[in-house]
Structure 1
Amino acid sequence: MVAQFGEQVRSALRARGISIREAARRLTYDPAYLNRVLNGRQAPSPQLVKRLDDLLGAGDAVVGLAALLPPDDRGRVSRSIARPARLDRRVVDALAGVLAAQRRLDDAVGAAPLVRPTEAQLLTVKQLLRDARGPHRDALLGVVAEYVQFAGWLHASAGNYVEASVHLYDAVELADEAGEGTLAAQALNFRGYIARRQGRPAAVARWFDAAYRTPGAHAAQRMGDAAQAAQGYAQLGERETAKRLLGEAGDLADAAREQPPGTAYWLTPDFQRLSLGLAHLGMAEYGTAADHLRAGLDGLPVEQRHADWTAEYRAALEEAERAR
């Protein structure tokens, strides 16, 4: 799985129209050395990792990804893949760390460069889960459920809706098996996101409503899901239902300020304003929508402000500003 680092960085460079030779020129590194690193034949130096991070504008996401698996943990992961019965908690934690870093990398470089390497990693962790035994399998199950969900998100963000829907269906099944309500709710939320991208308000209302009512969902998830379900109902002309859900979202605001789950780390109070903005836009309350959307975008962390997924909210803000 460590070899995937080079593929992810190589894909991110390609998505920006930068060849390995051009990257080497900009970084003043030997092209042959950079080629070996990005093709997994040589470990990168810390200096090169930092320079690549700066070149991609990744906000230390590349640095974090490169630092995740020291040699000892690499050996543990390889041994566990070869002999799943020897799975230990350190391996599970290492895999969870790789996944967390890839989520941050998605914010910085976008979904498209990560689809292929994530799919390759997903095959590995699913095989490990299939063959694993012992006391750490349940912890691995939660990590695999999140891996499947993340793959679904990447496909959804890249516009591959069929592949995304298949992964997200599996993610709900795995989350239920693991007893992870937060993961199940997030997978349903991503189904709602796909429906919104496709312009299907009935499906928007259905999926976000289902996420809102999922047992075990965090208050921050439920607040955002209620607001986004309200948008779908408003677009269907069910204004009273939309108003009720917006009220319920507001009732959750205080509880939602608690630290969100790591699997939904982006659900800050500022991000919630983006969901509220979409809901008010659906209700044709353009001034309120514009205020929420602008505040939400301005409040995003620096590394998220130009993420692919922000384009939807920027377009919504432009629409609200035009109509107010």
Structure 2
Amino acid sequence: MADAGIPHRLPRALLADPEMIAACRARKFSTVFRLLKQAGIYPSMIARACDLTPSRVGEVIAGNRNIEKIDLVERIADGLHIPGHMLGLATRGWEQSARPATATNAITHALPKPTYSAAVPSPLIEPEFFASQIRAIMPSHYKAANLFGSRHALDPVERHVRSIDRLQEHTAGPVRDDLLTLGARIAEFLGWLHQDLGDFTQATYWSDRAMEWSQETGDDLMTSYVLFRKSNQATARRNPQQAVSLARAAQRVSGVTPRIRALAAQQEAQGHALMGNPKFAQTKFDEAYELATAPDEPEDDDALDTAYCTPTYVEMQRANCWIELGDPQRAARVFEAELAVLPQVYRNDQGVYLSRLARAYATAGEPEQGAAAADRALSIALDTESARAIGELAAAGQSLLKWRDVPAVAAFSDRLTLARSAVVPRPRTS
């Protein structure tokens, strides 16, 4: 059985937890796995340690599947280092090799001692604990970036990834692999934050770092996601050929989730639209939409956020491409419909979508509606400091120039001129 990075000594408090004891006695593995996840042992790690598929572990956690076969119970006990008596099993082989223990320390001494490479100095903090704490707070960083803007998450996220980088230098084996797996996710997110704030140099640097770490650990899922992100960056730089080739590379990676496949497919569609290929674009958008409507998989990776990839997200990207493909009226209709159901937490993206709606109206010859949408977008962009939104607003402003004499357009243009100098990448302070 492959070592998946499960600690050789489970936390004493976890094994002594009354809920854990009761769950093991009843062989209620939905609770056992949930408690392990809370301790920083995530479903993907459980799956590897017990030779289970991640989807099966997810079904168990969700309560949709039971584990009853004795050979599987034994495999879980050995893979997760749960003492046999807790699961109603005979003493396991790895327990018998332990030193005699007192009653108060029986659980601790029944498990093998952790081994460390003599060439690697011990870190100042337990890596598994450190990683579990960062995983636990990553969802709050995603929410902060979505709601308040990328700058609100930038500093703590950068500190996290730099701490992981330092810590992995003092670890080895599966522990280091798990740190790099987590680090790749956070580095990718950091790259996205910089991209949203208009700093493509830093965005590219951190995306490259994420790719390096995901390749080093053989993390195919993350490799595919970073390829999607690089395709997204190519689209933002209006390099459609590179956008398409990178998106296709992301789709060639096997074993990724439907959401990541959807993200890569819609990114390829955007590249085709930029090249003026409506048939190819719509085919890939349709594929992405179907993938995004697939049932959600059990969430087992708090450090990688793909929840934003919904049918609404895909349709927002399709709407933007309708402008590129010469049908701004249709784009405006889709934007209006999807903005009405966009969750409020995606306020940062709302500013971008409203900016694109403004450009659609302007291109369609409806300046007053365009100015109204642009004004709403600008109010959000000033709060979130999103360079993406400001860039989209600048494009909308160009489309509105011919109606400069319309009062609403003139008022927006004046506000935009003042705002564009306020939302620029700030100098680094460290």
CA distance in structure 2 between the aligned counterparts of 1:173 and 1:185, rounded to whole angstroms? 12
Unaligned 5+ residue runs, structure 1? 1-67, 69-81
- How far apart, CA to CA, are the structure 2 residues paired with 1:322 and 1:232? 23
What's the offset of the Cα at 1:85? 8.3
CA separation in 2, counterparts of 1:120 and 1:86?
Answer: 16
8 Å contact kept, 2:211–2:226: yes
Equivalent runs, 1:260-275 vs 2, <5 Å: 262=302, 263=304, 264-275=306-317
1:211-222 paired onto structure 2 within 5 Å: 211-222=250-261
The structure number with the bigger radius of gyration is: 2
Q: Which residue of 2 aligns with 1:312?
A: 352
Give how far 1:86 is off: 6.6
**CA root-mean-square deviation:** 3.0
The structure 1 residue matched to 2:361, chosen from 313, 321, 324, is 321
TM-score by structure 2 length?
Answer: 0.50
Distance 1:322 1:212 in 2: 35
The residue that corresponds to 1:150 in the other structure is 189
Is residue 144–residue 152 contact of structure 2 (8 Å, CA) maintained in 1?
no
How far does residue 218 in structure 1 lie from its aligned partner after superposition? 1.8
Tell me if structure 1 keeps the 8 A contact 2:221–2:256: yes
The answer to whether structure 1 residue 295 and structure 2 residue 334 are counterparts is no
Tell me, in whole angstroms, the C-alpha distance in 2 between the residues paired with 1:148 and 1:273.
28
The number of aligned residues is 243
Structure 1 residues 134 and 206 mapped into 2: Cα distance closer, same or farther (>3 Å)?
Answer: closer
Identify the residue that residue 232 of structure 2 maps to in structure 1: 193
Q: Report if aligned partners of 2:232, 2:267 keep a CA contact under 8 Å in 1.
A: no
Aligned residue in 1 for 2:159? 120
- Name the counterpart of 2:244: 205
Measured in 2, the distance between the counterparts of 1:292 and 1:226 equals 19
- Structure 2 unmatched ranges of 5 or more: 1-37, 39-120, 365-430
Partner of 1:63: none
| Structure 1 residue 238 corresponds to structure 2 residue 280 | no
CA distance in structure 2 between the partners assigned to 1:135 and 1:190 by the alignment: 27
Q: Is the 8 A contact 1:278 1:289 kept in 2?
A: yes
Is 1:104 aligned with 2:143? yes
Which residue among 254, 264, 283 is the counterpart of 2:325? 283
Rounded to whole Å, the distance in 2 between the matches of 1:239 and 1:256 is 28
**2:293–2:310 CA contact under 8 A, matched in 1:** no
Higher helix content, 1 or 2: 1
* Alpha-carbon shift at residue 165 of structure 1 (Å): 0.6
Please say if residues 293 and 311 of structure 2, whose CA atoms lie closer than 8 Å, have aligned partners that are also in contact. no
**Partner Cα separation in structure 2 for residue 266 and residue 130 of structure 1:** 33
Pair 1:86–1:109, CA change in 2 (3 A) = closer
Q: What TM-score comes out, normalization by structure 1 length?
A: 0.65
Q: Distance in 1 between matches of 2:218 and 2:295?
A: 21
Q: CA deviation at 1:250?
A: 4.0
Q: Indicate how the Cα distance of structure 1 residues 286 and 122 shifts in structure 2: closer, same or farther if over 3 A, else same.
A: same
CA distance in 2, matches of 1:212, 1:293: 27
Q: Distance in 2 between matches of 1:132 and 1:141?
A: 11
What is the percentage of aligned positions where both structures have the same residue?
A: 23
Q: What secondary structure sits across from 2:130 in the alignment?
A: helix
Q: CA distance change for structure 1 residues 317 and 150 in 2, over 3 Å: closer, same or farther? A: same
Could you list the per-position Cα deviations for residues 63-122 of structure 1 after superposition, in whole angstroms to 9, with x for gaps in the alignment? xxxxx9xxxxxxxxxxxxx94287353332112123332222111221234334432332
In 2, the alpha carbon distance for the partners of 1:164 and 1:199 equals: 16
- TM-superposition CA deviations, 1:42-61 (whole Å, max 9, x none): xxxxxxxxxxxxxxxxxxxx
